[in-house]
Structure 1
Amino acid sequence: GPATPLKHTCIHDAFEVMSNTFPSDLAMVDHVGNSLTYQQLDRLSLHVSSFLRNRGVLPGSLVCLVGERSIPHIVAIFGILHAGAMYVPLDGQLITDGTLRGILFDAELSFTLYSRAFASR
């Protein structure tokens, strides 16, 4: 389709515009065929944002995200950004336990989100 100029500077704001303009269009598809529309991505990320705010995450807070590349991971990134927070990305498949502990201890994080696969770490 035609290019849509965006007046927003934040990526999550741009996705919100896409959600309002093209709600049923695909926003993402993963390697096994799971997908989300722009509207689904927006709604799910707003849910994550609300979850974080209800737990005291404020604009400017650091939120750690430990996981693997996946649709839920992208939803969490947008949720963190919608909350006005900054995300600290950690690839749970690559980072060692020692490095993970050091970052979690030193980074002055407000909150940590992680996928079930890394809950035991």
Structure 2
Amino acid sequence: MGLFGKKKESAPCCCSASPAAQAAPVSGTAPSGSVKVEILGSGCAKCNQLEANTRATLAQLGMEAQVGHVTDFAQIAAYGVMSTPALAIDGKVVSAGRVLTTAEAAELLQKAK
């Protein structure tokens, strides 16, 4: 109650934690020696195209990766993403707001190796 000089005591909010701590993994952790790739988006055509390009790039590079698709907007927001589609590698957002070509995705995935 804010009247008469009394301040309302507030409990700590669950949203004060870091976005990485709040985001739940899609399906566990990646096996050792592989990367964890997540496509962040609602499942629209652009998100699906980014996923297809990323999978094709992984196949070309011969990389072992766990690929997931996060469609829950609360989890996407926890990553700090404001526009989709977005690509996260090992929990870090490396691209947002556009569909990457296979060459662009290859460059980002090789850096994560």
- Scaled by the length of structure 2, what TM-score is found? 0.30
Q: Which has the higher contact order (CA 8 A, sep 6+)?
A: 2
- Scaled by the length of structure 1, what TM-score is found? 0.29
Rg bigger for which structure?
2
